[in-house]
Amino acid sequence: MDFNSEYEGFSDNAIRLLSAPKGNSKLAMAHFIAMSDLYDSKNNPNGYISLGIAENVLSYDILKEKLIIGNDETAAAAAAAAAAPPQSLTQYSEIGGIPLLRELIAKELLQNHVFKGYKPTNEKLLVKKEQILISGGATPLLENLFNLFCNQGEKCIIPSPFYPSFVYDAYQRFGVKVIAAKSEIFKDPLNKDTSEIIDFKLDLEEFEKLYNQGDVKMVLLCNPNNPTGYIFKPNEIKQLVKWCKNKRIHLISDEIYALSVFGGGGGGGGDGDGNEFKSIYEILDGDLGEYVHVLNGFSKDFCLNGYRIGYFYSQNETVFRYMLSTSAFYSCSNIAQYTAINILKDKEYLNRFIKTNQSNLKESYEFASNLLNQYSIPFIKSSSGVFLSLDLRACLKYLPNDTTTTTTTTTTTTSTGTDTDSTTNEDPFSKEIKLWEEIFKNKVFLNSGKLCYFEKPGFFRLVFTLPKDFIEQAIKRIAQVYNSLLNK
C-alpha cells in the first residue's frame, strides 16, 4: 500500500477505507442536501421531498402510546413514568439482551407472528430465548455475520436487486465482497432493455455460476425483498437452502419486513396478490440446522428506525456463542429494549398494531400506485415493505449519450513478460444517473437502480410511507420530468 503522510500511524485497514474511491458525490450527498431543505406544504413548498429513506411514518398515532416506559391508563402516571424510569434502566443489563425481551421475541413475536403460529412437531425446535440475541439495530448484527463467515476478500452472494447498503455493511470494515445473483425475469428475455419485469426467481444456475468463481462463503437473502417488495417463493427458498448446505456455506435470512406485508401485487408484472410470505423457519419445518440463521429488527415492522433494536436467531450453538461473545460491541440500550417489551407484552395491542400498520401500508401503496397510473408512470407492483420500483426506461433514449467512459485494464504475466490490454466502454447506467439528476433537480430524491444492482438501467426505488401530500407532490414532480422527456 502506498504511503501517504496524511495516514501516518494508521492501520492498513483504516488506510484502505480512507483511500477508497469516492464514487458519485451527487448520489452520496443527495440525502443530506434534501434533508437540509425539506418540503413543507405551508412553510417550504419548493423544498425537497425524500422518497429514498425506508422509514414508515404512517402508524405513529398508534405507536406513540407504547413509547413511554411503564405506560398505564392515566396521563399523569404516564408522565411520571417518563420523568422517572425504573432505576434498572440506568444500570448494565445482561449481555445479549434483557431476558424478558428475548423471551417475548422468541415466544410471542417470532413464534406467533413472524412464524404465524407455526409449531414444529418436534418441540425441541420451538424458539427459545437462549437462541435470541438483541443488538443496537440489525446492521451491526449483519456486519458481524460477514466477519464471522468471511475473511477479507471473500464473497457473499445476494439475490439482486438488493438494498444498496449491504455492500457497505460487508466491505467497509471487514473487506467482504458482495456479488449479485440476478433474479429478474423479463417478459422478453431477448429484449431486456425495454421488456417489462414479470417476476423474480432464485435461479440456482446463477448461484452456481457465481460460486464457481471461487471464495463464496455465505448467502444473504432479503425476504420480503428490498427494493422491490417482492416475496420469494417458498419452494425456491427451500432449494436454495439445500444448495447452501451441499456447499457447506451459511445462509442469512433477513426478514426485517416480515410483518409489513399488504398484498396488492406480488412484485413483477403479475396481476395477482403476490406470493404469501413464509418465514424460512416455517419453510424448513422449524429445522434451521447448522447453516441457516434469521436476522430481524423493529425498525421496519414497528416503525422504530431511530430506536435501533435488532435481533438474531440461530439454532447453531457455535454461531450463537460467537455472536454472544462479541455482542458488547453493539448492545442495545435498556430504554429501547423496554420500549420493545412494552409493545410485545400487550398481546391485544400487538395484534392491533400489526393489523393497523398493514392496513396503513396497503392504503398508502394504493394511493401511490393510483397516482402513478394517473400520470402513466410504469412501476413494478409490490406486496410488502415500504417501497415500490419505478420503471422509467422509456425516457432514457431521450437523454444525451455519456461523453465519459470507463477503462478496464487487464494485465497478464507470462514467461515472456507482462502484457497489458485496455478496453474502453461506456457505463450502461450513465443515462439512468442523468435521469436521476433531472429528478433531483426537480426536488425529489429517489434511490437509483444502479445502486440497487438492477440488471438493467432505468429503475428507481420509491418509498411511499410518507404523508399523502408528500407522495402526491413528489409523484407530480417525477411525472413532470418523465413526461417532458417522452414528449420531446
User: What is the predicted pLDDT for the residue at 404?
Assistant: 53
Who contacts 349 (Cβ-Cβ below 8 Å, separation ≥6)?
A: 65, 66, 343
Backbone angles phi, psi at 311, to 5 degrees: -150, 155
CA dihedral of residues 334, 340, 342, 345 (deg, nearest 10) = -120
Backbone angles phi, psi at 376, to 5 degrees: 60, 40
Q: Taking a C-beta distance cutoff of 8 angstroms, is the pair 259, 303 a contact?
A: no
Spatial separation of the C-alpha atoms in residues 376 and 482, rounded to whole Å: 9
β-pairing, 310-314 vs 132-135, is antiparallel
* Residue spans of the chain under pLDDT 70: 1-3, 23-24, 68-85, 264-274, 402-425
What beta strand segments (E) does 298-362 contain? Answer: 310-314
Spatial separation of the C-alpha atoms in residues 129 and 196, rounded to whole Å: 45
Q: Which long-range contacts (CB under 8 A, 24 or more apart) does 11-16 make?
A: 13/173, 13/175, 16/175
Instruction: Note the pLDDT tens digit of each residue in 53-92.
Output: 999 999 999 999 898 655 455 555 555 555 556 778 888 8
User: 34 vs 258, 366, 415, CA distance in Å?
Assistant: 29, 25, 56
What beta strand segments (E) does 392-458 contain? Answer: 406-414, 417-425, 444-445, 447-448
Who contacts 43 (Cβ-Cβ below 8 Å, separation ≥6)?
A: none
User: What is the predicted pLDDT for the residue at 272?
Assistant: 43
What beta strand segments (E) does 216-301 contain? Answer: 216-222, 250-254, 292-297
Largest CA distance in the chain: 85
ω into residue 224 within 30 of 0, thus cis? Answer: yes
Nearest Cα to Cα of residue 260 among 141, 380, 353, 139: 353
User: What is the predicted pLDDT for the residue at 67?
Assistant: 87
150: left (phi over 0), alpha (psi -120 to 50) or beta: beta
Angle between helical axes of 138-149 and 317-325 (0-180°, round to 10): 120
Who contacts 49 (Cβ-Cβ below 8 Å, separation ≥6)?
A: 34, 38, 39, 443, 444, 445, 466, 470, 473, 474, 477
User: What is the predicted pLDDT for the residue at 448?
Assistant: 96
Instruction: Note the pLDDT tens digit of each residue in 370-393.
Output: 999 999 999 999 999 999 999 999
Spatial separation of the C-alpha atoms in residues 461 and 54, rounded to whole Å: 10
Q: Taking a C-beta distance cutoff of 8 angstroms, is the pair 56, 353 a contact?
A: no
| Residue for grid cell 440463521 | 293
Q: Taking a C-beta distance cutoff of 8 angstroms, is the pair 303, 56 a contact?
A: yes
The residues with which 389 forms a beta bridge, in sequence order, are: 380, 461
CA dihedral of residues 94, 100, 101, 105 (deg, nearest 10) = 130
Residue burial 154-187, b: 16+ Cβ < 10 Å; e: rest:
bbbbbbbbbbbebbebbbbbbbbbbbbbbbbebe
β-pairing, 177-182 vs 184-186, is unpaired
User: 12 vs 18, 140, 152, CA distance in Å?
Assistant: 10, 22, 12
Instruction: Note the pLDDT tens digit of each residue in 266-322.
Output: 455 444 456 899 999 999 999 999 999 999 999 999 999 999 999 999 999 999 999
Spatial separation of the C-alpha atoms in residues 236 and 140, rounded to whole Å: 28
